[in-house]
Amino acid sequence: MGTTTIDYPACQTEIFICVDPGSVGQGGKGIYMIDNKLDNGSSGEGTDELRTVCDENDRVSWRILNIAQDETPMTIFGFQTRGNAVFKESKPVAAEGCENLCFVLDKAYASSGQYDTYQISINVNGTQYNWDPFIGCK
């Protein structure tokens, strides 16, 4: 099995979507989200309802990881933003060179304690899964 090295973009806030392809299903089963902002007050780690708290002006990335480390194909293929506290008029886009394994939001806006809900869509072995985590800024 060959390995591919991907040069992920540098971001202050990193959100990981860990997927167990053998048990993934609707209702959050098999999808576990974590971020690097626990000290900022993020909560819901290890669930599909992560509530990320980034800092104003952070560059934010989302990466999908196959925790089974097998060959099951999986990608992030879409975001739908629902709110304008953090996203304003922008939305995450596929990072160049990441083969739809990473999406980036170039700038998070101050949200005064408010959270935006966003829908993230992934494809795991040909099946689409969608859910609605949260993001806010300090």
Domains of the chain in start order, with CATH, are: 13-137 (2.60.40.420)
DSSP-assigned beta bridge partners for residue 115: 136
DSSP-assigned beta bridge partners for residue 85: none
pLDDT at residue number 62: 94
- pLDDT surpasses 60 at 4: no
- The pTM for the full model equals 0.89
pLDDT at residue number 1: 43
Tens digits of per-residue pLDDT, 45-75?
A: 999 999 999 999 999 999 999 999 899 999 9
The token pair that represents 34 in the structure block: 């974590």
Report the C-alpha gap between 25 and 127 in whole angstroms. 9
Tens digits of per-residue pLDDT, 99-127?
A: 778 889 888 888 778 899 999 999 999 99
pLDDT at residue number 101: 87
pLDDT at residue number 84: 82
Report the C-alpha gap between 59 and 74 in whole angstroms. 23
Task: Choose between 81 and 66: higher pLDDT.
Answer: 66
